[in-house]
Amino acid sequence: MSESAFQIFVNALLANNFVLAMFLGLCPFLGVSGKLDTAFPMGIATTFVMLVASLCAYGLNLLLTAFHLEFLRLISYIVIIASAVQLVEMVLKKYSPALFRALGIYLPLITTNCAVLGVALFQTAREYDFVQSVTFSIGGGAGFTLALVLMASVRERLTLSNVPDLAQGTALSLMLAGILSLSFMGFAGLGG
């Protein structure tokens, strides 16, 4: 792999945005994007879990490859992510109880966010080295946060406008996501 760290970052942030171009992490994207106040902390928490998961997955992959246990990769990754989420939960509870309460139920649900597992799986499949893996996870997390914040801002505005009854709810969110995704396609080729 000859991609520079900067290229990987821009790619994961914009051109191959995790949510809008690769369809990862759609459940929180549609579920938590109702209000800006929850969308941003959720994005940050997910980014942090992604970073921890990516670091652990990198180390674990070396270990699994050394012992020729590649078939255990998926099971061990998911266990690592679940533990990372648990860790974040405990740290937040101890040092920032306010944020912990604000995130509530969404925190444990990060475990089943496919963007997190996606980071671990993609970095393995593309054989990224250590620096590349870290930039990839930060870029992916930033892209997830960006998409979430954009979506939440648009949806906050939409609550004030006159929308046909029929289209309210998920259908409207999906159409919005489609338009956002369309505009993100303009970034294609940016990361080289």
**Choices 50-58, 99-107, 118-126, 148-156; region in contact with another protein by CB under 8 A:** 118-126
User: Cα(119)–Cα(140) distance, rounded to whole angstroms?
Assistant: 8
- Cβ neighbours of 175 (radius 10 Å): 11
- Cβ neighbours of 154 (radius 10 Å): 15
Site string for another protein, 22-61 (x = CB under 8 A): xxxxxx--x-------------------------------
How does DSSP classify residue 4?
-
**Minimum CB–partner distance for residue 71 and another protein (Å):** 6
Check binding of 165 to another protein (CB under 8 A): yes
CA dihedral over 13, 122, 49, 38, signed as positive or negative: positive
**Choices 41-49, 89-97, 142-150, 175-183; region in contact with another protein by CB under 8 A:** 175-183
Angle at 28 between CA 139 and CA 182, to 5 degrees: 65
Query: Which residues, 57 to 86, sit near another protein by CB under 8 A?
Result: 71, 74-75, 78-79, 82
Check binding of 166 to another protein (CB under 8 A): yes
Q: Residue 105, SS3?
A: coil
Query: Which residues, 6 to 25, sit near another protein by CB under 8 A?
Result: 20-25
